[in-house]
């Protein structure tokens, strides 16, 4: 076992780099090599805001439970509003796949952006 020159971590003889700090471990024959200093830890660690992500998940569930409905394929396209998934506005109404896709993507993108915008900084 040999110690790292920078952080003192005990390393096997076969290691070329330190497993803790990542610096190259110099061989006794190669003493003229310059050691690379370890990367400093980031003092401003950031976390995404979990409460915003929980709200986003709740809104995504509501968007699936109350989807946008449109008229049946035989009629002229018309938006019929948001109704419960098991209670369509008309008997032949269908869920608008285009509008539900736009709605889900918009909610997800807004949720991730807002959780990043209001992230917790330490």
Model confidence pLDDT, tens digit, residues 45-95? 678 889 999 999 999 999 999 999 999 989 998 999 999 999 999 889 999
3-state DSSP assignment of residue 61:
helix
Least-confidence region, from 2-6, 15-19, 32-36, 109-113: 32-36
Q: Write down the pLDDT at residue 31.
A: 46
Reduced to 3 states, what is the DSSP secondary structure of residue 81? strand
> Tell me, what's the pLDDT at 69?
95
In the predicted structure, residue 108 carries a pLDDT above the cut 80: yes
Residue 109 binned pLDDT confidence (cut-offs 50, 70, 90): very high
Of 67, 73, 59, 71, nearest to 106 by C-alpha is 59
Mean pLDDT of 29-38: 54
Q: Which residue has the higher pLDDT, 115 or 12?
A: 115
Between CA 24 and CA 31 the distance in angstroms is: 12
Question: Is the pLDDT assigned to residue 10 strictly greater than 70?
Answer: yes
Neighbouring residues of 22: CB distance < 8 A, sequence distance ≥ 6: 36, 38, 39
Average pLDDT, integer, range 29-37: 53
E strands, 1-122, where? Answer: 2-3, 10-11, 46-47, 68-70, 79-82, 94-95, 120-121
The mean of the pLDDT values for the chain is 85
């Amino acid at each position: 076992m040999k110690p790292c020159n920078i952080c003192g971590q005990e390393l096997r003889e076969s290691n070329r780099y330190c497993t803790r700090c990542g610096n190259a471990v110099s061989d006794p024959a190669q003493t003229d090599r310059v050691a690379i200093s370890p990367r400093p830890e980031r003092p401003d660690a950031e976390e995404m805001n979990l409460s915003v992500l929980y709200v986003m998940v709740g809104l995504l569930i509501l968007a699936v439970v109350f989807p946008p409905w449109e008229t049946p394929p035989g009629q002229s396209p018309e938006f019929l509003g948001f109704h419960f998934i098991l209670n369509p506005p008309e008997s032949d109404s269908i869920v608008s796949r285009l509008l539900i896709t736009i709605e889900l993507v918009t909610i997800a993108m807004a949720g991730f952006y807002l959780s990043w915008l209001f992230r917790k900084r330490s």
